[in-house]
Chain A
C-alpha cells in the first residue's frame, strides 16, 4: 500500500502550474510590499510604535532600528520580484521568506492570516522545485501546494460553522451596514437577505470549494465561483492582497500543465523517469501536513469560545469571523504604599495597536507586564497590575474579558488556555441589519 502511494506521489508531472504560481505569487508579494511603502504604512506599522507585542515563540526575533525597516521592505520586494522572474529562485525565495516573516513577527497587532499564508506559500514554493528549468516535478509537490491552499479554505469554512455566522449573519450584517455606499453593489447590501445570503455563500464556498476544484468536471465552474467570491470580498472589505493571493493560488488545482496549454504552448517536457520519493522526505511532508491539519484545531481542545478568549485564534485560518472592540484600562497598585493608578494603554500604544489589543487577552497580559516594568523604571517597583477590559463581540453588550481580581504580573502566558480570561457572553449577537428601521424615522 505504502509502495503504491509513494509511486503515485512520485509520478512526474509538468512543473508549469507551480512555476506559474511562483511567478504570480512573487509579483503579488512585490506589489504588496511596494504598496506598503507607497501608502506610508511603514511608519505607523513598524517605526512609530513605542511598544510592540511579541509572539510567545518568537520573542527572540530582533528588532532593527527604524531606518532599517524600509530597507527590509524594499529588500523583500526585490527578492519577491527576483523569485517571480526565476532568478536564483531558491535564494531569492529564501530571502523573501526570511524578510517577510521578520516583518510579520515585528508586532502581533500586525498579524493577518494572509501574511501567514504568504510565508507558508513562499516557503513551499522555495523548497519545492518550481523553476521552469525543472521541466517536471514529482506529483507530491503539486499536491502539497494544493493541500496548503485547501487547508486555508476548509478551515476558513469550518470557522464559520457557528450560530453567529449562520443564524445571525454576524458580523457580516454589521460590516454590510457600513458599506452600503460601495459603488454599484452597495445598495444590495442594504437588502435584509444580503447578509444571510453572503454568510451562507461564504460558508459553503469555503468549506466545499476544494472538493469542487478537485473534481475535473466541476473545476471550471468552481473556479468561476471562487473568482466571484474573492472579487466581492475585495470590493467590500479592506483585505489587501488576500483575494488576489487566493485567486492565484487556487489555479494550482487545475492540471499541472494548464499554463503550458493555455499561454505558452511550448513543447511538453520529456517525461522523466519517476524517482521514488525518499522515505525521510515523505515523513517530513507527512509531518508538515499533519501539523497543518491539527494545529488549527487546537481551540477544540481548549475551554471556552475561541472568538472570545482567542485561544487558538491565530495561525488557524479563522478569517473574518468576528467584529470585536473593547475598552481596556489597567489598574496599577503598589501594595507597599496603597497607591493606585488607572492607566490607559494609549500611554504606550498607537490607536491601531490599542484597538487590536483590546480584544486579545494575551496581548492585554503582555502589556500588563510591560506596564509593571515601566512603573519600576520610574521608581515605582513591585506593583500589581489588573485589567479592566470591556469587550463587545459581534455587537453584543460589552462584557468583562479579564478577571479584574487577577494580578496579571503573576500570570504567565500559556498556549494551553487562560483561566484569568472570563467566560464569553451567553446571549446572541446583535440582530441582523434591518434597513426598514433605518428609514422608518426619516
Chain B
C-alpha cells in the first residue's frame, strides 16, 4: 500500500510528459505556416488597408499641406513686415484651412508616432506637438508675442505644446484683437509691455510667430511621415504579429487602432459637442461657446465632418469604401449588420452637422437643439462602438490593461 501512490504519481508525470509532446505535435500540425493562419492574416489585411490606404496617405497629404501653410505664412510675414498684407493673410488662412482639415482626419488615426508615448507602440506624442486642442493657452501665446520667445534658438524644442502647433497658428492668423486674453493681473498687463505694442507691431509679431509655428508644424509633420516610412512604423504596423514587428500580435495592433477610434467618443462627442453645448459638468452655464474647437477660424463644423469621415474610413478600410477595414472582421464574425449600422450612424451624424448654419461656438447659442441633435447622432455611433463592436472583436484599449480576469 505504501508504494502505490508514489507509483501513481510517477505514472502521472509520464502521462503529463506524453501529453505535452502530443500537444506540441498537434499544435504543430495546426500551424504549419502563416499562410494557413486565417485570423492573423485577416487582421493584418485590415492593418495594411488602413495603414497604407488611410493613415499614410492622410499624413503625406498633411505634410504637403503643412509645407504649403509654411510657405503661405512665410509670405504673409514677409509682406506684413512692409505693411498691411490682406491678400497674403487670406492666402495664409486658406492654407491653414486646408492643412487643418486634413489634420482633423489624422486626429482619429493616432496610432504609432502620433500617439502618446508610453501607451502606444512606437508612440512619440507627435500629435500634441502638431495640434494640442483642447489643451490650449492663448494667454501664453500673447505673452510670447510680448517677449518674442519664438525667436530664441531651440524654442520649439522645449516649448510646451500650448506654444506650438496648428491651434497657435490659427490663433495668430485669425485673431487681430487689440486686447490680449490674459487676465488683468498677468505681468504683460501689469507691467504695460502689451500696451506698449502698437497695432502695427502686434500684427507684425503675430505674423512672425505664425510663420515660425507653421514651420515647426511642417517639420513635425515631416518627422511623423518619416517615422511611418523610413522609420519603419508602417512595416511594423502592417506586419504585426510577425517576427520583427514590435506588435506581438495583430490583435494588439487592432487594439491600438480601436483606441484611436475612441477619439470619436472622448473628443468629438464630449469635448467638441457636449462641452460647448452645456451637456457636461465642465459647463455649468446653458452653453459654453468658448469651449468649442476652432473658435478663431470658425472651422469647427468642417472639423467634425472630417473626424467622422476618418472613423468611417477605419470601418471601411479606405476613404472610398473599397478597402478592408473593421467591417471585414465584423463580417467574418457574423456581425455584418453591425458594420452597416455603424457606417449608417456615421453618415447620419455627418448629415446632422450640415444642419448647423454657423460654427459650433455660435450654434450653441443660436441652434442649441441642433447641436444637441448632432451630439445624439454621434452618441448613437459611439454606443455601438463601446458595446457590440468591442464585444464582437474582443478589443481592449491599452489603458484597460491592468489586472487579470476570470
Contact = CB atoms under 8 A, between A and B. Distances in A.
A160 B310 CA distance: 41
Residue among B27, B335, B394, B404 with the most chain A CB within 10 A? B404
B387 A346 contact: no
Contact of A392 (B15, B274, B388, B404): B388
B392 interface: yes
A190 interface: yes
Interface stretch (B144-152, B276-284, B352-360): B276-284
Interface stretch (B33-41, B97-105, B125-133, B205-213): B33-41
A378 B281 contact: yes
B403 A45 contact: yes
Interface string A250-271: 0000110110011000000000
Given A341-B279, A351-B397, A237 B405 contact: yes
Given A184-B27, A323-B391, A431 B405 contact: no
Given A185-B30, A188-B26, A430-B333, A351 B400 contact: yes
Contact of B42 (A228, A240, A319, A442): A442
B139 interface: no
A438 B39 contact: yes
A177 interface: yes
Contacts of A323: 391, 394
A52 interface: no
Given A114-B406, A178-B251, A181-B241, A255 B5 contact: yes
Given A435-B39, A439-B38, A184 B28 contact: yes
Contacts of A433: 333
B405 A238 contact: yes
Contacts of A442: 38, 41-42, 45
A188 to B, nearest CB: 4
Contact of A239 (B241, B399, B406): B406
A437 interface: yes
B9 A262 contact: yes
A380 interface: yes
B85 interface: no
Interface residues of A, number: 88
Contacts, number: 218
B402 A45 contact: yes
Contacts of A224: 12, 15-16, 19
A6 B249 CA distance: 57
Interface in A413-442: 430-431, 433-442
A177 B402 contact: no
A184 B24 contact: yes
A327 B402 contact: no
A343 B331 CA distance: 33
B404 A239 contact: yes
Contact of B391 (A181, A187, A262, A392): A392
If over half of B's interface residues share one DSSP class (helix, strand or loop), that class is named, otherwise mixed; here it is helix
Contacts of A355: 400
Interface in A343-364: 343-344, 346-347, 350-352, 355, 358
Most buried by B among A180, A185, A220, A352: A180
A435 B286 CA distance: 51
A358 B375 CA distance: 20
A292 interface: no
Contacts of B392: 174, 392, 395, 430
B85 to A, nearest CB: 45
A180 B400 contact: no
A326 interface: yes
9 contacts: A110-B403, A180-B38, A181-B250, A261-B5, A320-B405, A344-B274, A390-B387, A430-B392, A441-B332
In the A-B complex, the 7 residue pairs with the smallest Cβ-Cβ separation, listed nearest first, are: A240-B404, A438-B332, A178-B394, A180-B39, A187-B31, A327-B386, A184-B27
Interface of B: 2-3, 5-6, 8-9, 11-12, 15-16, 19, 23-24, 26-28, 30-31, 36-42, 45, 241, 249-251, 266, 270, 274, 278-281, 284, 286, 324, 328-329, 331-335, 337-338, 375, 379, 382-388, 390-395, 397, 399-400, 402-406
Given A174-B333, A255-B5, A344-B274, 15 more contacts: A110-B403, A191-B30, A258-B9, A320-B405, A326-B386, A327-B386, A341-B279, A341-B280, A341-B281, A343-B279, A346-B266, A346-B270, A390-B383, A392-B390, A392-B392
